[in-house]
């Protein structure tokens, strides 16, 4: 017999929701030659147990909801109960008669930081156990005395579904039968040191309720992917020598409906996808679409790393959108934020009452600029969380690349900190050794498991070999944003043309390091917010000069070596700064808008540049190699003109000449490498773009005059504030 004081003590801990192992008391347990069955159901007035096809009424042995009976033999299957609550009678199975379906291999690999499919182990998994449908919940909370699943199915009562502890792994689990995708849930955690009760949303939750609610939703996918051909071609794609021209999009403010409501993922599949195809982009980059509470954070303060934001629909709706992009031959890059997380008390912050995902010491664990916590990358389970999250997006949503946000803030222990506000590494340096190892592991995993998928670092310092393979000592990213090029270029173009001669080196300096990394040339969202003005508004001069300067800037970007990225609105000269709470100013393109021809012209110029970049081997195949670029003349600072050659793998070439002053240059001589006839295949000053229509429409024939270290030369008409592209016929 079980001693009565032991039973009484167990029951007392059950009633107070303090029991770390409720499975040892509830369910079926042998008592000498008989079996005792116990169920704790605080809301029930009557409970019956099915035994050999008959319902046996249980005795209520405690007023707070303990029901018991004695059985002569063990149950042959999971306990089936008939429960009466008020006037309502329903049937279910008892969770405490199901064993754990977690394996020792899963727990071991998770503890080692190597369980890449952790999102199929932890969280809420819709599954069958012993032929019965339900949901297995699992959560990592090593400093908990007790963890319970609370939800819409148990009146958020932490006493009812206390979970099973898996010892030193820190993992807890329980299988609850008959739940549906309509049910919401959280975890209630009692800290073992302080006794404090915390209510937390699921770190591995796939879906969440609408704001301001914070509960996770049970979720299952039913999407049937139609992108097999895309995925197969992606594996074989030579991305180093392929065009990459990315359209950065914030889904909530790209376009809205007539009531200023968000477009859904499925609506975006019929609007955004054809627009991206029409404009000639090769990829879209979605700003963070993980669940986040505050729209104004743009998604960068994530509370649900495995959850798709429900602002625009369900996870399957997002799959539908990505599938539509793939069927249109457009790749999808996800803006991914493994560098920090917000302090919301219902999410990851101090998850089990301790600094679990973050560092305890604020000199390591707090990001001062953003008011967020920094992940503890040296902890295996935390690193596993992030690695599995990357795997999740690539595997479950067929994402084609991860743009990793704020890499510089991760790499440096003293990032944005004064002396005394940071702790050095074990060698006394400022480098975060745990982050270095994490990023290397991440990039190796992506390369091994997802052939053809890209990783792109937003890294703003001169950290070496960011986009070089791990086996060569690099961090292993595919590409890196060229923040130096972006800052120099915008700084230059913002000067009045009369002064640009004094800043000519800002156009030429970048070639000194242009091939040290695989660079992306970005004009991102960060450059058109917080008082920085829109790209159009950065341009000096009157309206004509502003638009001409912007067409020239985009021509320079699209013909320079490096892959490309532009934020939405850049392509049609959005006039005001980006506002996350409203649509882009699409009315600027309307025939009813006075001045629409300027914006229509810039949109057409962008479209033509994008298609030119894709179609010309010379403009993309050697983006990362010095053989793909050569100066014709980088010294003409007095006239603010630069000219260069772009070459392709097939030995084709084009000539680019850019005039950064509003002065028309007639009979301007440039050197060219090959004799023959050249024709102008792009001119940003064309009348259809809103320009003055000066150029070389009739074609050009070389003269046997050596010039600028070239054997041949041309006399060209160089339009004001414009760029031209010449090709040998």
For residue 39, is it left (φ>0), alpha (ψ between -120 and 50) or beta? beta
Q: Give the strand pairing for 304-308 and 123-129.
A: unpaired
Phi, psi of 395 (to 5 degrees): -85, -50
Determine the number of helices (DSSP H) and then strands (DSSP E) in the chain.
Answer: 15, 37
Give me the catalytic one of 145, 358, 405, 623: 405
Count other Cβ atoms within 10 Å, centred on residue 614: 16
Judge if the upstream peptide bond of residue 665 is cis by omega within 30 degrees of 0: no
Q: Can you tell me whether residue 389 is helix, strand or coil?
A: helix
Q: How far apart are CA 528 and CA 130, in angstroms?
A: 56
Residue pair 556/523 in contact by the 8 Å Cβ criterion: no
Q: Is 482 exposed, middle or buried, given 0-12, 13-18 or 19+ CB atoms closer than 10 A?
A: buried
Is 405 annotated in the active site? yes
Judge if the upstream peptide bond of residue 212 is cis by omega within 30 degrees of 0: yes
With a CB cutoff of 8 Å and minimum separation 6, the contacts of 239 are 452, 454, 478
Transcribe 657-725 into DSSP letters.
Answer: EEE-SS--EEEEEEEESS-SEEEEEEETT-GGGTS---S-TT-EE-BS--BTTBSEEEEEEE-TTEEEE
Closest CA to 723 of 614, 581, 638, 608: 608
Give me the catalytic one of 285, 317, 434, 458: 458
SS3 content of the chain, % helix, strand, coil (to 5): 30, 30, 45
Cα-Cα-Cα-Cα dihedral of 120, 121, 123, 127, to 10°? 70
Q: How far apart are CA 268 and CA 245, in angstroms?
A: 20
Q: How far apart are CA 675 and CA 587, in angstroms?
A: 47
What residues does 715 pair with on adjacent strands?
Answer: 669
- Give just the sign of the alpha carbon dihedral 73, 74, 77, 78: positive
Residue pair 664/719 in contact by the 8 Å Cβ criterion: yes
Q: How far apart are CA 643 and CA 376, in angstroms?
A: 49
> Tokens 């190892």 map to which residue?
437
Residue pair 183/217 in contact by the 8 Å Cβ criterion: yes
Residue pair 652/690 in contact by the 8 Å Cβ criterion: no
> Tokens 């970049």 map to which residue?
613
Q: How far apart are CA 290 and CA 664, in angstroms?
A: 50
> Tokens 């009976």 map to which residue?
69
End-to-end alpha-carbon separation of the chain, Å? 98
Q: How far apart are CA 288 and CA 399, in angstroms?
A: 13
Residue pair 646/725 in contact by the 8 Å Cβ criterion: no
Q: Can you tell me whether residue 41 is helix, strand or coil?
A: coil
Is 458 annotated in the active site? yes
Closest CA to 603 of 576, 573, 567: 573
Q: Which DSSP symbol is given to 122?
A: S
With a CB cutoff of 8 Å and minimum separation 6, the contacts of 489 are 506, 507, 553, 556, 557
Which residues belong to the active site?
Answer: 405, 458
């Amino acid at each position: 017999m079980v001693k009565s004081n032991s039973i009484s003590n167990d029951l007392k801990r059950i009633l107070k929701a303090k029991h770390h192992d409720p499975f040892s008391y509830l369910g079926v347990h042998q008592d000498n030659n008989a079996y005792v069955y116990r169920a704790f159901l605080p809301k029930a007035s009557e409970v019956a147990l099915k035994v050999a096809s008959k319902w046996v009424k249980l005795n209520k042995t405690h007023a707070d909801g303990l029901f018991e009976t004695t059985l002569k033999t063990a149950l042959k299957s999971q306990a089936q109960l008939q429960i009466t609550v008020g006037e309502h009678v329903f049937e279910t199975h008892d969770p405490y008669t199901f064993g754990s379906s977690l394996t020792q291999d899963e727990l071991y690999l998770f503890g080692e930081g190597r369980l890449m499919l952790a999102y199929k182990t932890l969280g809420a998994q819709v599954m069958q156990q012993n032929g019965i449908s339900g949901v297995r919940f699992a959560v990592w909370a090593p400093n908990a005395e007790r963890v319970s699943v609370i939800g819409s199915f148990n009146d958020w009562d932490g006493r009812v579904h206390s979970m099973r502890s898996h010892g030193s792994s820190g993992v807890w689990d329980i299988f609850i039968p008959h739940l549906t995708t309509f049910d919401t849930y959280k975890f209630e955690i009692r800290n073992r040191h302080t006794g404090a009760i915390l209510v937390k949303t699921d770190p591995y939750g796939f879906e969440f309720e609408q704001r301001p609610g914070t509960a996770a939703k049970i979720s299952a996918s039913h999407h049937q992917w139609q992108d097999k051909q895309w995925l197969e071609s992606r594996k074989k794609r030579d991305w180093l020598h392929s065009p990459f021209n990315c359209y950065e999009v914030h889904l909530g403010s790209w376009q809205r409906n007539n009531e200023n409501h968000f477009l859904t993922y499925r609506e975006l599949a019929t609007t955004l996808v054809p627009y991206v195809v029409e404009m000639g982009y090769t990829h879209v980059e979605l700003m963070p679409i993980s669940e986040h509470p505050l729209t104004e954070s743009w998604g960068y303060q994530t509370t649900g790393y495995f959850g798709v934001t429900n602002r625009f629909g369900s996870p399957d709706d997002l799959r539908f959108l990505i599938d539509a992009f793939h069927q249109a031959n457009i790749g999808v890059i996800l803006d991914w934020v493994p560098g920090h997380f917000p302090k919301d008390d219902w999410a990851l912050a101090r998850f089990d009452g301790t600094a679990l995902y973050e560092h305890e010491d604020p000199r390591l664990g707090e990001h001062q600029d953003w008011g967020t916590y920094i992940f503890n990358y040296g902890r295996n389970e935390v690193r596993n969380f992030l690695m599995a999250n990357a795997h999740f997006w690539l595997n479950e949503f067929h994402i084609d690349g991860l743009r990793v946000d704020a890499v510089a803030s991760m790499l440096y222990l003293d990032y944005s900190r004064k002396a005394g506000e940071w702790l050095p590494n074990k060698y006394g340096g400022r480098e975060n050794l745990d982050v270095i190892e994490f990023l290397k592991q991440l990039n190796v995993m992506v390369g091994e498991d997802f052939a053809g998928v890209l990783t792109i670092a937003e890294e703003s310092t001169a950290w070496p070999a960011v986009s070089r393979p791990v086996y060569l000592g690099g961090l292993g990213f595919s590409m890196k944003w060229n923040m130096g090029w972006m800052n120099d270029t915008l700084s230059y173009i913002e000067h009045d043309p009369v002064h640009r001669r004094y800043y000519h080196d800002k156009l030429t300096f970048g070639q000194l390091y242009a091939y040290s990394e695989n660079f992306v040339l970005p004009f991102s969202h960060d450059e058109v917010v917080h008082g920085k003005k829109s790209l159009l508004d950065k341009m000096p001069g009157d309206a004509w000069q502003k638009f001409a300067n912007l067409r020239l800037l985009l021509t320079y970007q699209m013909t320079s070596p490096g892959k490309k990225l532009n934020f939405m609105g850049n392509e049609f000269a959005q006039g005001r700064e980006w506002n996350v709470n409203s649509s882009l100013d699409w009315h600027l393109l309307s025939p009813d808008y006075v001045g629409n021809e300027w914006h229509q012209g810039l949109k057409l110029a962008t479209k033509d540049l994008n298609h030119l970049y894709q179609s010309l081997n010379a403009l993309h195949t050697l983006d990362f190699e010095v053989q793909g670029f050569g100066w014709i003349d980088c010294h003409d600072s007095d006239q603010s003109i630069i000219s260069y050659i772009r070459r392709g793998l097939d030995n084709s070439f084009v000539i680019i000449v850019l005039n950064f002053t509003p002065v028309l240059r007639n009979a301007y001589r440039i050197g060219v490498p090959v004799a023959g006839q050249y024709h102008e295949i792009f001119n940003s000053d064309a009348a259809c773009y809103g320009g003055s229509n000066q150029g070389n429409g009739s074609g050009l024939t070389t003269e046997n005059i050596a010039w600028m270290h070239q054997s041949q030369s041309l006399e060209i008409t160089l339009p004001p504030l414009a760029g031209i592209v010449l090709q040998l016929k």
